[in-house]
Amino acid sequence: MRKTVLVASAIAIILVLALLLIQSSAETIPYSIKGTKGEIEFRQYPALVLATADNSQNDAGFNLLFAYISGSNKPREKIPMTAPVITSQKIPMTAPVVSDATSMSFVMPAGKTREETPDPLDSRVRITTLPAREVAVIRFSGYASPQEVDAATSRLQEALKNEGILTVGEPFLMRYDSPWTPGFLRRNEVAIEIRR
């Protein structure tokens, strides 16, 4: 019995270490921290090039984007995976509803311009440039269930409103980890562009 427990513990430790190595292998997009207020972090991001696809509940967007970086592009080249993966949020019912569609975006490696980014073979993948901007962010762990995301988004919007900080656009979700990372090790963030 003790030998079984030791073997199981060793396997668990190896799996956790492997997951940590997998999640650390993706380049994280650089940003600078401009300050904090409670649980909110204010960040400045450089201009970014995004590959974006509409997403549905069955993760069709992820599959399209993963195919794109795996070589489904005009030069058939592989593009390194970066973190975070960005998912747009549905617009809350209290706001004017413009669209209820969501999208998913992979950020191209740092320093890559639109001209250096290969065109996709699938027309459902769009390549766009996001200008440099400041965003407010709240971080949380777990599997980023809709309830967790909604709770963090509400806290973020309420705190920014209380501080009199103007928001631009709609909130978005940033996820940093592979699907195999245990919930307690996952890094998730809700963010929104701000003007100060």
Average pLDDT over residues 164-192: 91
In which element (H, E) is residue 137 found?
strand 133-140
Contact 86, 172 (CB under 8 A): yes
Smallest Cα–Cα separation from 71: which of 121, 113, 23, 109? 121
Chain centroid, CA 124 distance in Å = 19
- Band (10; pLDDT cuts 50, 70, 90): low
Instruction: Tell me how crowded residue 131 is: count the other CB atoms within 10 A of its CB.
Output: 9
Inform me whether the pLDDT recorded for 91 exceeds 90.
Answer: no
HEC readout, 10-73: HHHHHHHHHHHHHHHCCEECCCEEEEEECCEEEEEECCEEEEEEEECCCCHHHHHHHHHHCCCE
Average pLDDT over residues 31-35: 97
pLDDT at 20 over 80: no
The sign of the dihedral angle between the CA atoms of 71, 75, 77, 80 is negative
Its pTM stands at: 0.80
Sorted by where each begins, the domain ranges of the chain are 2-55+81-114+126-195
Which CATH class name applies to 2-55+81-114+126-195? alpha beta
Band of residue 95 on the pLDDT scale cut at 50, 70, 90: very low
54 confidence band (pLDDT: 50, 70, 90): confident
